[in-house]
Amino acid sequence: MNNGKAVVLVVEDSAIIRMGAVDLVMSAGYEVLEAGDADEAIRILESRTDIDLVFTDVQMPGTMDGIKLSHYIRERWPPVKLIVASGAAILEESSLPGGSRFFSKPYDGHAITDAMARLLAEEAPSTTVVG
């Protein structure tokens, strides 16, 4: 974590949708990085060690879609949390790597930020206040 903020990588080929997702993530208090496709996302993941969560679209141009990207990330960077969204495909969460969350578009911003908070909290039991 960087400055105590979780770092979220948004992967979305549509610039308008990506801007909306970036605003959503920033408004939830996270640091945000952006990629236009899976190849760019992998380059960013290879260059940084502080990415906590990847929020990706399913349908993208390039060598892999969001489902393949999520499996690749799970294999290569197991601690990274995953949220996958799609406007066309309705996926079974079982087709995604363990611990992923799926949302169909248009998604509810609060549902996404709640899922991010829950996923990010799973790895940080030290923040639990007892008493």
**DSSP assignment of the chain, as one string?**
-BTTB-EEEEE-S-HHHHHHHHHHHHHTT-EEEEESSHHHHHHHHHH-S---EEEEES--SSS--HHHHHHHHHHHSTT-EEEEEESS----GGGS-TT-EEEESSPPHHHHHHHHHHHHHHT-GGGPPP-
Residue type, 23: D
CB 70 within 8 A of CB 53: no
73-109 pLDDT, tens digit per residue, is: 999 999 999 999 988 766 665 688 888 898 888 889 9
As a whole number of angstroms, the distance between CA 71 and CA 44 comes to 16
Q: Give 71's pLDDT tier (boundaries 50, 70, 90).
A: very high
pLDDT of residue 123: 56
The mean pLDDT value for 112-119 works out to 94
pTM for the model stands at: 0.87
Residue type, 67: I
Residue type, 30: Y
The mean pLDDT value for 56-81 works out to 93
Residue type, 92: E
Q: Which domains does the chain have, with CATH numbers?
A: 7-123 (3.40.50.2300)
Of residues 124 and 114, more confidently modeled: 114
